[in-house]
Amino acid sequence: SVDIRILSVEIERVHSLERMIFKSVRSTEEKLNYVRNNQPVLLVAFKENKPVGFKLGYVIPGTQTLFSWLGGVHSLHRRSGIGQHLLERQEALARDMGLDKIYFTSYDRYKPMIRLGEKNGYELIKAETDAGEMKYWYQKNLCSGVLG
């Protein structure tokens, strides 16, 4: 079974998660410091006490929106529901924080991420070319009913 933990956003921790999933580091120290100052939410999925996936988001300043910025599941553990668990936990935390939207961006090469979003009610709100590849913005409203 998978255990999802909320961990603090430490630069080395995020870089080691990135290396595990992407085989390289994508985030800069500057960007991570920015994330740390904007209500970050780092969820890490563990299987047998080893990290197998993560999702890192932060609140867009001046909004009630969480940007689900970075994340993934280790290639050996994909298609086993870990991404779904992370997504559900992130949505629950965003609701607990009083936020009303979550969005993420993705590219054509990350089809499983796009499918996961669509399956969970995220709507395509924007698409444009970025360095020759299509980039997509997906958003979900967390408010349910009149009371929100």
Which amino acid, residue 63?
Answer: T
Residue 66 CA from chain centroid, whole number: 9
What is the per-residue pLDDT for 144? Answer: 60
What is the per-residue pLDDT for 29? Answer: 93
CB atoms within 10 A of CB 10: 12
| CA 85/CA 61 separation, integer angstroms | 26
Instruction: Reply yes or no on whether the pLDDT at 68 is more than 70.
Output: yes
8 Å CB contact between 66 and 57: yes
Average pLDDT for residues 114-135, to the nearest whole number? 95
What is the per-residue pLDDT for 103? Answer: 96
CA distances from 135 to 18, 62, 86, 106 (A): 20, 24, 22, 6
Q: Is 88 left (phi over 0), alpha (psi -120 to 50) or beta?
A: alpha
CB atoms within 10 A of CB 69: 17
What is the per-residue pLDDT for 27? Answer: 93
Please write the tens of the pLDDT for every residue from 103-112.
999 998 889 8
Average pLDDT for residues 23-50, to the nearest whole number? 95
Quote the pTM value.
Answer: 0.92
What is the per-residue pLDDT for 143? Answer: 79
Please write the tens of the pLDDT for every residue from 13-22.
999 999 999 9
Instruction: Reply yes or no on whether the pLDDT at 95 is more than 60.
Output: yes
8 Å CB contact between 8 and 35: no
Instruction: Reply yes or no on whether the pLDDT at 45 is more than 70.
Output: yes
| CA 40/CA 121 separation, integer angstroms | 23
Compute, in degrees rounded to 10, the torsion defined by CA atoms 83, 85, 88, 90. -70
